[in-house]
Amino acid sequence: MGSRQSLGVDVADDHDARDDADGDDHGYTEAGSRRGDTELVTWALEEWERASNGLFRFHAYPHEGSALLRIYWLPWARGVLGETRPVLSRGGIVATVFIHPDISRAIAAARTDSVRRDVILYVVCLHEIGHALGLGDSMNEDDIMWTGGHGRDQMVYERLRRRVDSRAAIKVTSWLSNTDMARVQALYRR
């Protein structure tokens, strides 16, 4: 068994979210991210760390150039909430995660239910970080790595939403399935 791996990560900050007082943007950035969204990413990284059972740790890197995992907020584009791409950088491969935080564009109910919006954003972050870690999509709806689609997204998001009654509960809930956890451990135990 190898020693614990250290994975550098750079997360786009959300400090430029404007204040409500500035207008009617309700604190959203142009990309649709909100103050506090970076915290959701941090919780997602922490959940994967727990799932790895000590096999890896994430470390925040202040400069994206040295991070193996880079996470960016992007404005709503073409129907996808998140996307992960391997990118060549200085002879190595880095995982580039794009999150589209304007969730209400895909799920109308997220507009009036901020916990729903945060839950969906959280599981999108978890799913994409799973891809960045090397996991492929799953065909099982109980997995966070479930591929989505087939007209089942709304139903699955509804089920996830019912698991918490507040934003704070997102952090202390286990969202990854046993299969998600077993898969990531198998990958990093080599």
Where on the chain is the footprint of Zn ion (CB under 5 A)? 137
- Residues 176 and 126: their CA atoms lie apart, in Å, by 8
Nearer to Zn ion (CB atom), residue 2 or residue 136 = 136
In terms of DSSP bridges, do strands 69-73 and 5-11 run parallel, antiparallel, or are they unpaired? parallel
Q: Cβ of residue 139: shortest distance to Zn ion, in angstroms?
A: 11
CB atoms within 10 A of CB 89: 15
Nearer to Zn ion, 113 or 137 (CB): 137
Least gap, CB of 135 to Zn ion (angstroms): 9
Neighbours of 173 (CB within 10 A): 14
How many Å apart are CA 105 and CA 76, to the nearest integer?
7
Closer residue to Zn ion (CB): 17 or 121 = 121
**Closest CB to Zn ion among residues 32, 130:** 130
CA distance linking residue 190 with residue 41, whole number of Å:
26
